[in-house]
Amino acid sequence: MAEKLNGEVYYPSEEVISYARIKNWDELNNFAKKDLQNFWAKEAEELFWFKKWDKVLDDSNKPFYKWFTGAKTNIVYNCLDAHLKTHRRNKLAFIWEGENGEWKTMSYHALHRETCKFANVLKSMGVQKGDRVTIYMGRIPEIIIAMLASARIGAVHSVVYGGFSVESLAERIEDSQSKVLIVADGAFQRGRIVPLKKIADEALERCGTVEHVLVVKRTGQEINMEYGRDMWYHELMNLPIASNSCALEEMDSEDPLFILYTSGTTGKPKAILHTHGGYMVGIYTSLKYVFDIHEEDRYWCAADPGWITGHSYIVYGPLLNGTTSFIYEGAPNFPYPNRWWQMIEKYGINILYTAPTAIRGLMRFGEAWVKRHNLSSLRLLGSVGEPINPEAWKWYYKVVGNERCPIMDTWWQTETGMFMITPMPSVPLKPGSGTKPFPGIEMDVVDEKGNPVKPNEEGYLIIKTPWPAMIRTVYKDPERYVSQYWSKYPGVYLTGDSARKDEDGYFWIIGRVDDVIKVSGYRLGTAEIESALVSHNAVAEAAAIGLPHEVKGNAIYAYVILRNGIEKSPALIEELRQHVSHEVGPIAKPERIEFVDSLPKTRSGKIMRRVLKAKALGQDPGNISTLEE
Ligand code: PRX
């Protein structure tokens, strides 16, 4: 890395460098650049394979890249079974704390046992290799057990974030054609119960594929159990079928591991497909180097398992690295704004990985809440999900990290599976920049025609080289995979983000350039919000946009045209907000709804959200030559 960089730079201390696994980032990067396949092969060799690969990368059918072809593995073997033969057998896989103060720990041995037991339960329900299983729960240990059990027997899990609601769950179950749904009775959230099973019951009335519903008891309120369809997890786990050992399905490297729905440029959420082999190598390697996992670490990724951050860096990545993770069920500021700091002190957490929105939210309460606690165990901090504003970065660095802990600002996506632009602890940092692409990954910022823009100019963020944890396809829709990601510029992956690259080659993410809105780091599509609004019988048409918000990053604003004869009223606005919350989830609830008589559209009838946004911000809408009215 260059000695002297431009702008405000935070250089790593001697202490940080001496502890870091990678002391010379350039060396690693040059090695990867020179021989990409050998770089990844060396990493893959640290994991166990039932049969080794014939080829590291098969690019004979671009953009349907394949990694480690011919190899046989199962990610769960490397997450669990492999550790049982080592000193990690009795090491804690995780420490979990509930919002209500309950806690639980599980060793690798215990997690392996519970996974095998539940895998046997799934088998007894007729689940086979390739079948989809939908999982809908809060942040409780059983969500991890359910994911691992499904992968162990070769099934494909589809986790639906517990903050989604009826229609979002229904459409994901329907699209995936899952026969089994694993759900919790409820989740604790700020002292209240989110009635997950009740939401699931309503969703199941709208889709017809599910034959078995397995229910984890968490919150304990009275729920409906449909005879013949619904069964309690704890009762099944006590039956003789739930034995402690369960043979592991040997998977092809390219066999699907999971699908995860995410919002795209247009239309319905799409299912991003990841595989056993390449995904495993990508997240194992990236977590090891970026969060510099050491054997004795206690690592906390405060995301939710229901999003890609949780899949890669709460569940699979840490387990592959034999890490002890901390997992917390509830909200950061419940019952008091020091809840997180208290737990870092209590459990001696070394690495904290969270989102800018959480930092901004906690920052509002002032530093006294942080300073009450001894956070000296912390060594590294992380950020993900949206651009971190330099003010929040500095607060995180100074107040939480006491100016000792480098911040790993990791840019990546559901589709990339793993960190793509990210520092490592020994890399000089600039607040608000994720620094440079991970070794072996080439990225750039280009103009409309695909030519690189000048330093500090804004353009489209693209990825130029394949990587092992990359999306393989959109489940059941390969054409969409090609058209959405690989069509704007041939042979190049389009991220959907805009960015700048500075004179030192550091990347600065600006935001989405498509119809995706990032609210508190959560990815939502304008189409999802609009179709929820239109499903209300008072609404004729709707348009949703994201506007800057101090804590959430973006907040949703919606413009609604009412049907003929419907009276405008504040009560109707509230009803529509609740309706979106009920259909999509509380995270999608518009901050504001405004009734309008028309919407700006192109001649072909496409809503010009860009114009709505400019108007709301009092800015010039730019080129409006395609505007019809
Ligand atoms: O816009 C970028 C933003 O989140 C998008 C991906 O969202 P999702 O698939 O939900 O995955 C989020 C967690 C990996 C990106 O296109 N994003 C993610 N990380 C960052 C970010 N924006 C700026 N800085 C980041 N570190």
The answer, yes or no, to whether residue 95 has pLDDT greater than 90, is: yes
pLDDT band at 197 (very low <50, low <70, confident <90, very high): very high
Q: Which of 259, 413, 460 to mutate to test the pocket of ligand 1 (most atoms within 8 A of CB)?
A: 413
Q: Is the CB of 387 under 6 A from ligand 1?
A: yes
pLDDT at 443: 98
Rounded to the nearest angstrom, the distance between the alpha carbon of 505 and the centre of ligand 1 is: 19
Which is the closest atom of ligand 1 to the Cα of 421? 26
Q: Locate the DSSP E strands across 60-126.
A: 66-69, 72-73, 92-97, 103-107
Backbone torsions φ then ψ of 594, nearest 5 degrees: -120, 135
DSSP 87: G
Atom 2 of ligand 1: nearest residue by CA position:
386
Q: Locate the DSSP E strands across 365-472.
A: 380-384, 407-410, 443-446, 459-463
Q: Is the CB of 411 under 6 A from ligand 1?
A: yes
CB 612 within 8 A of CB 627: no
Task: Look up residue 162 and give its two tokens.
Answer: 């517990």
Question: How would you classify the pairing of strands 493-501 and 507-512?
Answer: antiparallel
Rounded to the nearest angstrom, the distance between the alpha carbon of 234 and the centre of ligand 1 is: 37
Rounded to the nearest angstrom, the distance between the alpha carbon of 463 and the centre of ligand 1 is: 14
Rounded to the nearest angstrom, the distance between the alpha carbon of 497 and the centre of ligand 1 is: 9
Side chain identity at residue 20, one-letter code? A
Rounded to the nearest angstrom, the distance between the alpha carbon of 357 and the centre of ligand 1 is: 12
Burial of 84 (0-12, 13-18, 19+ CB in 10 A): middle
Q: Which of 259, 388, 497 to mutate to test the pocket of ligand 1 (most atoms within 8 A of CB)?
A: 497
Q: Which of 518, 519, 520, 528 to mutate to test the pocket of ligand 1 (most atoms within 8 A of CB)?
A: 518
The pLDDT of 244-259, averaged and rounded, is 98
**Length of the chain counted residue by residue:** 629
Atom 18 of ligand 1: nearest residue by CA position:
385
The pLDDT of 395-419, averaged and rounded, is 98
The answer, yes or no, to whether residue 267 has pLDDT greater than 80, is: no
Q: Locate the DSSP E strands across 302-374.
A: 324-328, 351-354
Alpha helices, H only, 91-215: 108-124, 141-152, 166-176, 196-204
Global pTM reads: 0.97
* 62 vs 482: CA distance, rounded Å: 9
Q: Which residues of 210-227 are buried (b: 16+ CB within 10 A; e: fewer)?
A: bebbbbbbbbeeebeeee
pLDDT at 626: 72
The answer, yes or no, to whether residue 514 has pLDDT greater than 80, is: yes
Q: Is the CB of 512 under 6 A from ligand 1?
A: yes
Long-range interactions of 234-237: CB distance < 8 A, separation 24+: 236/121, 237/114, 237/117, 237/118, 237/121
Q: Which of 259, 384, 524 to mutate to test the pocket of ligand 1 (most atoms within 8 A of CB)?
A: 384
The answer, yes or no, to whether residue 1 has pLDDT greater than 60, is: no
Which is the closest atom of ligand 1 to the Cα of 412? 14
DSSP 566: P
First to last CA, the chain: 53
Atom 24 of ligand 1: nearest residue by CA position:
387
Q: Is the CB of 587 under 6 A from ligand 1?
A: no
Atom 10 of ligand 1: nearest residue by CA position:
523
Which is the closest atom of ligand 1 to the Cα of 409? 26
Q: Is the CB of 308 under 6 A from ligand 1?
A: yes
Burial of 373 (0-12, 13-18, 19+ CB in 10 A): middle
* 620 vs 42: CA distance, rounded Å: 52
Burial of 478 (0-12, 13-18, 19+ CB in 10 A): middle
Q: Is the CB of 163 under 6 A from ligand 1?
A: no
Q: Is the CB of 514 under 6 A from ligand 1?
A: no
pLDDT at 227: 97
Element (DSSP H or E) covering residue 501 = strand 493-501
| Span 134-160, pLDDT tens digits | 999 999 999 999 999 999 999 999 999
Burial of 613 (0-12, 13-18, 19+ CB in 10 A): middle
pLDDT band at 629 (very low <50, low <70, confident <90, very high): low
Q: Is the CB of 417 under 6 A from ligand 1?
A: no
Q: Which of 260, 286, 381, 412 to mutate to test the pocket of ligand 1 (most atoms within 8 A of CB)?
A: 412
Q: Is the CB of 497 under 6 A from ligand 1?
A: yes
Rounded to the nearest angstrom, the distance between the alpha carbon of 411 and the centre of ligand 1 is: 6
| Span 323-360, pLDDT tens digits | 999 999 999 999 999 999 999 999 999 999 999 999 99
* 243 vs 124: CA distance, rounded Å: 11
Which is the closest atom of ligand 1 to the Cα of 307? 10
Q: Is the CB of 263 under 6 A from ligand 1?
A: no
Atom 8 of ligand 1: nearest residue by CA position:
413
Handedness of CA 38, 42, 47, 48 (dihedral sign): positive
| Span 456-478, pLDDT tens digits | 999 999 999 999 999 999 999 99
Element (DSSP H or E) covering residue 112 = helix 108-124
The answer, yes or no, to whether residue 421 has pLDDT greater than 70, is: yes
Rounded to the nearest angstrom, the distance between the alpha carbon of 85 and the centre of ligand 1 is: 37
Rounded to the nearest angstrom, the distance between the alpha carbon of 413 and the centre of ligand 1 is: 5
Q: Which of 386, 407, 520 to mutate to test the pocket of ligand 1 (most atoms within 8 A of CB)?
A: 386
Q: Is the CB of 270 under 6 A from ligand 1?
A: no
What is the rounded average pLDDT for all residues in the chain? Answer: 96
pLDDT at 266: 72
pLDDT band at 268 (very low <50, low <70, confident <90, very high): confident
Rounded to the nearest angstrom, the distance between the alpha carbon of 470 and the centre of ligand 1 is: 15
Q: Is the CB of 386 under 6 A from ligand 1?
A: yes
Using omega within 30 degrees of 0 as the cis cutoff, is the peptide bond preceding 590 cis? no
Neighbouring-strand partners of residue 310 = none
Rounded to the nearest angstrom, the distance between the alpha carbon of 304 and the centre of ligand 1 is: 14
* 562 vs 130: CA distance, rounded Å: 45
Side chain identity at residue 546, one-letter code? G
| Span 9-40, pLDDT tens digits | 999 999 999 999 999 999 999 999 999 999 99
Side chain identity at residue 564, one-letter code? N
Q: Is the CB of 518 under 6 A from ligand 1?
A: yes
